[in-house]
């Protein structure tokens, strides 16, 4: 399934800027966010399902993915999942969710692109590109140069395969992520913690679109 990665908003109750998640998501969608991921590492399953349903209702036709939890995606009627390298295998996620679901996979090195199952996933989230405070990670940031190497490795296998940069992305460094070959940016703090999330999403989309056009992609 084709997926629009330009402004990929992650919403998380731990990094919500005091906003209720459905209302935050509504504002981000109004600002032009093109894809959403609901990430919740702490709540009970029932709470996650209820939150996911509320977010989906708030964002209308914009696709909603669930971080890691295939069961929550199924129960909430979400559009798919984003899974980490050590999470459920893409083969199993695809079998459970079906052929029309959106499935994304986190990849952080060119070596892993060689074994990523490109026939089972719709995009890769590559990084972390920059340092982030919204998630604990054991890996060092790969930077735009590392992102470029991963994107090129993917494109050698499958030209045009969709990739977004993840972690620590702001309005200031987003152009470098696009210039490194990404099709979009996955963002949490720069949107959720902004004084005006709707304006932040709008500004981020403008910056990403200008960088894509400058790279020669319409």
| CATH architecture observed for domain 7-214 | Alpha-Beta Barrel (3.20)
| Domain range summary for the chain, segments of one domain joined by + | 7-214
In the predicted structure, residue 218 carries a pLDDT above the cut 80: no
Taking Cα atoms as reference points, which of 73, 146, 136 lies closest to residue 108?
A: 146
Gyration radius from the chain CA atoms:
16
93/70 Cα distance (integer angstroms): 7
The predicted model scores a pTM of 0.95
- pLDDT confidence bin for 1, thresholds 50/70/90: low
Q: What is the mean pLDDT of the chain?
A: 94
pLDDT band for 140, please (50, 70, 90 cuts).
confident
The arithmetic mean of pLDDT across residues 33-49, rounded, is: 97
* Distance set, CA 155 to CA 95, 114, 162 (Å): 25, 11, 9
Task: Give the tens place of pLDDT for each residue, 187-213.
Answer: 999 999 999 999 999 999 999 999 999
Give the DSSP per-residue string, 37-89: EE--SSS-HHHHHHHHHHHHHHHTTS-EEEES-HHHHHHHT-SEEEE-TTSS-
User: 203 vs 5, 54, 177, 179, 210, CA distance in Å?
Assistant: 15, 25, 16, 17, 11
- pLDDT value of position 129: 93
């Amino acid at each position: 399934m084709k997926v629009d990665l330009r402004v990929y908003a992650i919403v998380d109750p731990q990094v919500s800027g005091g906003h209720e998640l459905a209302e935050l998501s509504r504002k981000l969608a109004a600002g032009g966010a093109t894809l959403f991921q609901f990430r919740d590492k702490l709540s009970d399953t029932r709470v996650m399902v209820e939150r996911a349903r509320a977010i989906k209702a708030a964002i209308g036709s914009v696709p909603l993915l669930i971080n890691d939890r295939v069961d929550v995606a199924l129960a909430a009627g979400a559009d798919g999942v984003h899974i980490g390298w050590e999470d459920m295998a893409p083969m199993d996620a695809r079998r459970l969710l079906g052929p029309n679901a959106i499935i994304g996979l986190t990849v952080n090195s060119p070596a892993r692109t060689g074994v990523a199952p490109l026939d089972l996933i719709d995009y890769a989230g590559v990084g972390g590109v920059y340092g982030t405070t919204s998630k604990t990670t054991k890996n060092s940031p790969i930077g735009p140069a590392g992102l470029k190497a991963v994107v090129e490795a993917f494109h050698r296998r499958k030209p045009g395969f969709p990739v977004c940069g993840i972690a620590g992305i702001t309005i200031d460094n987003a152009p470098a992520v696009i210039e490194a070959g990404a099709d979009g940016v996955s963002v949490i703090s720069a949107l959720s913690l902004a004084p005006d999330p709707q304006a932040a999403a709008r500004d981020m989309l403008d910056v990403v679109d200008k960088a894509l056009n400058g790279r020669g992609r319409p």
